[in-house]
Chain A
Amino acid sequence: AQSVTQLGSHVSVSEGALVLLRCNYSSSVPPYLFWYVQYPNQGLQLLLKYTTGATLVKGINGFEAEFKKSETSFHLTKPSAHMSDAAEYFCAVTYSGGYNKLIFGAGTRLAVHP
């Protein structure tokens, strides 16, 4: 069975500081990994995804994530936080042949303060 653990339900950073949101997964088959962002009162929007190939994945809005198989991790980073990055972030996993059935983590709410 697959599962996702996001460490830290709330993360607070200063504007301009590094953003690091942690995601660890469990999967008995090679995973496909996703990060979604949810702005207040909106649906989810895809930030980036890893399927195969390059393990460092770049997404929208300056975010990137690195797939580390040995650590079963897919942490999301951004070098310099902006006020507009304040949102809830979800890590999700599925796998090839698993239809598009995503297993989500509990989410991390990111606050950015001046």
Chain B
Amino acid sequence: NAGVTQTPKFQVLKTGQSMTLQCAQDMNHEYMSWYRQDPGMGLRLIHYSVGAGITDQGEVPNGYNVSRSTTEDFPLRLLSAAPSQTSVYFCASSYSAGSLHEQYFGPGTRLTVT
């Protein structure tokens, strides 16, 4: 099992550009989520999905879109990048949406918006 994979590892964007951060898992997990990590703020939930076709907003959803067409993939789209979106982005998955289940995190994507 590769676990949770994320691409790219690093990305530099100019303000106003769009891009998609990719996330895939091969554990047949129902639940997937995106977090951003900023210094001194821990991780904050952007969007989450409890299964294919079902997504919802987390704590900081503005400026990001998601979709979940398959169980395996959960891409995060930045429609018009802003410097405030400079951050490290982590994708995570768990067996189900139940709070008991361990979340497995990907290695992260470091995004810089200039």
Q: What band does the interface of chain A fall in when counting residues whose beta carbon is under 8 Å from B?
A: 20 to 34
**Chain B residue at minimal CB-CB distance from A104:** B42
Pick out which of these stretches binds chain B: A12-20, A63-71, A79-87, A88-96. A88-96
Q: How far is it, in angstroms, between the C-alpha of A99 and the C-alpha of B95 when the chains are bound?
A: 12
With A44-B90, A46-B102, A96-B99 as known contacts, state yes or no: A101 contacts B45, CB within 8 Å.
yes
Q: Does A114 contact B (CB under 8 A)?
A: no
Is residue B58 within 8 Å, beta carbon to beta carbon, of the partner chain? yes
Please determine whether A94 and B99 come into contact, CB atoms closer than 8 angstroms.
Answer: yes
Q: Does B4 contact A (CB under 8 A)?
A: yes
CB atoms of A101 and B44 under 8 A apart? no
Given the complex, which residues of B lie within 8 Å of A41, measured CB to CB? 107-108
Residues of A within 8 A of B103 (CB): 46, 100, 102
Q: Which residues of B are at the interface with A, using a C-beta cutoff of 8 A? A: 4, 31, 33, 35, 40-45, 48, 50, 58, 90, 92, 94, 96-103, 105-108
Question: Could you list some 30 contacts between A and B, CB below 8 A?
Answer: A32-B99, A36-B105, A42-B107, A43-B90, A43-B106, A43-B108, A44-B43, A44-B92, A44-B105, A45-B105, A49-B102, A51-B99, A94-B99, A97-B99, A98-B99, A99-B31, A99-B48, A99-B98, A99-B99, A100-B31, A100-B48, A100-B97, A101-B45, A101-B48, A101-B58, A102-B45, A104-B35, A104-B44, A106-B41, A107-B42
